Chain A
Amino acid sequence: MKNDDLVICRCEEVTQADIKEVINQGVTTMNEVKRLTRAGMGLCQGKTCGRLVAGILSGETNQPLQELKPSTSRAPTRVLPLGTLSKTTQDDD
């Protein structure tokens, strides 16, 4: 297996090649990588692949890791069965 065929985002099965491709097209931020490849959009919401993607982005674009903030965290950060949202209580007790 060529190294670039390596799966990076386990949930969405996004490979190193997929990520490098969008970087070659000019992408420089974690958010863009996520948006264009779906890496980090799967069921685990990037918990497993986040650092790996940052490492690749850093290596390919020469940006140090401290300049690559993780992609934006939006609710829900956990798997949420659709039915549960319709039964939300804001009762503070």
Chain B
Amino acid sequence: MGKSEIYVVGGGAAGMAAAIEAARAGAKVTVIDENEQPGGQLFKQIHKFFGSGVHRAGTRGVQIGRDLLKEAEEAGVKTRLNTVAYGIYPGKRLGLICGDHTEEPASPIIILATGASENALAFPGWTLPGVMGAGATQTLININRVLPGRRALMVGAGNVGLIVTYQLLQAGADVAAIVEGLPYIGGYGVHASKVRRAGVPILTSHTVLRAEGDETVERAVIAQMDEKWQPVVDTEEVLEVDTICLAVGLSPLAELAWMAGCRFSYLPALGGWVPVHDENMESSLQGIYVAGDLAGIEEASTAMEEGRLAGLSAAEALGHLSVEVAEARKIEVRERLAALRIGSFGDGRAIAKRELLRAR
């Protein structure tokens, strides 16, 4: 088969899109993924995506995941599953755990598409079984097909909190309430309405004070907060729940990028510390590209487009695409990315992304 020219770390939306694009241009691509099957978070997304037709509006994440897998196979992308990247060394050498041994392949180009991890919120009782990430809840319901509990408290009214609340209800669980620390709902109105119509109260300026229970969560105590983020006296309420889901944001999973020596910028609008990159998705290090949530927390649609951009740029850098052909295609992708970063939700990300580009 020949040596891989491009190693893509992470087989989620961004990684697969990058691999497909590069492989179609003629590059030899290997995708590394720690899971049993690639697709990243897509297989947890059972709701229909928004956006235009080109962004597969009306399609569920699960289907997009399946489509990507098929396209990757057809393009000749090599996938190594159950393989974990534990390090990255000078010379673009990766450290991989492959079952019972490790490997350290080097390649001219590495595309990091390692995604994001859920943020934590610490409060007394947060280590009790029953407290988990909202994404974890989603994994249990949509992939493992088990209910984590019977009655949940959702912490966070961003898109993840709203969507997972709805998915809990669809799966047959009860949600006592959503508490959101900010005085407004961060997620899309359409999700919030769905949840409210289903009878779940969304309590803004509220927080969870503590979780209680003997060995597992049995109750949650919530309270209203004042402008100084202090609990308001006499607003404590005890909710009988056995599950508390934390939907308090995502942060890029950037250890490999840090280890490689990439330069980072701190941009709260994109999830915190984000590796800087140029308009080709190349990091501050030659030959190392970044794409997807790693390059800033956005959505699956932007992840796929960034992946395409990285894949095209990598293929061009290797000589598989002429500058003219590559540039024409990249312009199309960049236009689609810009179209995804508009409106009250997209603006903040668009601004942050421009800052990220400038920082390189």
- The closest CB in chain A to the CB of B84 belongs to A78
Contact with B along A47-70 (1 / 0, CB 8 A): 111111000000000000110011
* A75-B122 in contact (CB<8A): no
Determine the chain B residues whose CB is within 8 A of the CB of A16 once the complex forms: 122
- The closest CB in chain B to the CB of A7 belongs to B127
Q: A84-B100, A89-B104, A90-B104 are in contact. Are A73 and B266 (CB under 8 A)?
A: no
* B100-A83 in contact (CB<8A): yes
A32 to chain B, nearest CB (A): 17
* B3-A92 in contact (CB<8A): yes
User: Cα distance A77–B255 when bound, in Å?
Assistant: 7
* B120-A49 in contact (CB<8A): yes
> In residues 75-89 of chain A, which contact B (Cβ within 8 Å)?
75-78, 80, 83-85, 87-89
Determine the chain B residues whose CB is within 8 A of the CB of A47 once the complex forms: 117, 253
User: Cα distance A14–B34 when bound, in Å?
Assistant: 28
User: Cα distance A83–B97 when bound, in Å?
Assistant: 11
Let me know if B273 is at the binding interface, CB within 8 A: yes
Determine the chain A residues whose CB is within 8 A of the CB of B259 once the complex forms: 73-75, 77
Contact partner, B127, options A10, A50, A73, Cβ 8 Å: A10
User: Cα distance A84–B87 when bound, in Å?
Assistant: 14
> What interface size band does chain A fall in?
35 or more
> In residues 68-87 of chain B, which contact A (Cβ within 8 Å)?
84-87
Contact partner, B101, options A5, A74, A78, A89, Cβ 8 Å: A89
Determine the chain B residues whose CB is within 8 A of the CB of A49 once the complex forms: 120
Determine the chain A residues whose CB is within 8 A of the CB of B89 once the complex forms: 75
User: Cα distance A56–B259 when bound, in Å?
Assistant: 24
User: Cα distance A85–B98 when bound, in Å?
Assistant: 11
B222 to chain A, nearest CB (A): 17
Determine the chain A residues whose CB is within 8 A of the CB of B255 once the complex forms: 45, 73, 77
Sample of 22 A–B contacts (CB below 8 Å): A1-B124, A6-B123, A7-B126, A49-B120, A51-B119, A51-B251, A51-B272, A52-B122, A65-B266, A69-B264, A70-B273, A72-B258, A75-B88, A77-B259, A80-B97, A80-B102, A88-B101, A89-B101, A89-B104, A90-B93, A90-B103, A93-B3
A interface residues (Cβ-Cβ under 8 A, vs B): 1, 3, 5-8, 10, 16, 45, 47-52, 65-66, 69-70, 72-78, 80, 83-85, 87-93
